[in-house]
Amino acid sequence: MTNSSDGTKSNLTPDDLLDLYKVAVEEYRFQVQLNWDRAKYLLGFNTAVISVGAGLVKLSGKEAKFLLIGLFAIGFATSLLSLSAVYLQHNYYRSTRGRMVSIARQLNIEEFAVASTPGVRGERKTFILKLGRVQYILYVLLTLTALVNIYAIIYVATR
């Protein structure tokens, strides 16, 4: 019988916990890869919307104006939805990371466990460290795509 991180007793043997830790590490790696794949898609899609719109700006006429405003409005909406997706996927990652760290504590292998990020290592989060996190970089890039879309809407509407 082992103690869990919340102080309750568990009927899991150390071998059972080790098997669970292996699964938790696999899930952690899966989340990291899935989040990165999603981020690449979201950034690529949002950049493509802006690129298509910028290429079509040369079109003239009232019909093209409404098409472009609609395209950039969709681009703005997808930028906001992408920001939301990055937030949600980071929560999935943190949940998986927490489970992995909890099992490592129960096994008393924290010093040998997976510690690839400052969050897993339990390092203090300074302002500079937070700015360098992938999540915040994605927030900045997706916010910039949203702002570019707003600018494009204003530009096309006032032409």
The CATH number of residue 44's host domain is 1.20.58
Whether residue 1 is contained in a domain is answered as no
The residue whose two tokens read 């400052």 is: 118
Give the model's pLDDT for residue 59.
Answer: 74
Residues 79 and 142 sit within 8 Å (Cβ to Cβ): yes
Whether residue 130 is contained in a domain is answered as yes
Whether residue 113 is contained in a domain is answered as yes
Q: In terms of residue numbers, what domain contains 134?
A: 12-157
Whether residue 33 is contained in a domain is answered as yes
Whether residue 4 is contained in a domain is answered as no
Please determine, for residue 94, whether its predicted confidence score (pLDDT) is greater than 70. yes
The span from the CA of 143 to the CA of 79, in Å, is 7
| Nearest C-alpha neighbor of 84 from the set 34, 149, 143 | 143
Higher pLDDT, 127 or 61: 61
Q: Residue 73 in 3-state DSSP?
A: helix
Adjacent-strand bridge partners of 10: 2
Whether residue 110 is contained in a domain is answered as yes
Q: Give the tens place of pLDDT for each residue, 40-63.
A: 999 999 999 999 999 888 876 777
Please determine, for residue 4, whether its predicted confidence score (pLDDT) is greater than 80. no
What single DSSP character describes residue 10? E
Whether residue 2 is contained in a domain is answered as no
Residues 89 and 64 sit within 8 Å (Cβ to Cβ): no
Whether residue 3 is contained in a domain is answered as no
Domain count, the chain: 1
Instruction: Kindly state the average pLDDT of the residues 57-70.
Output: 83
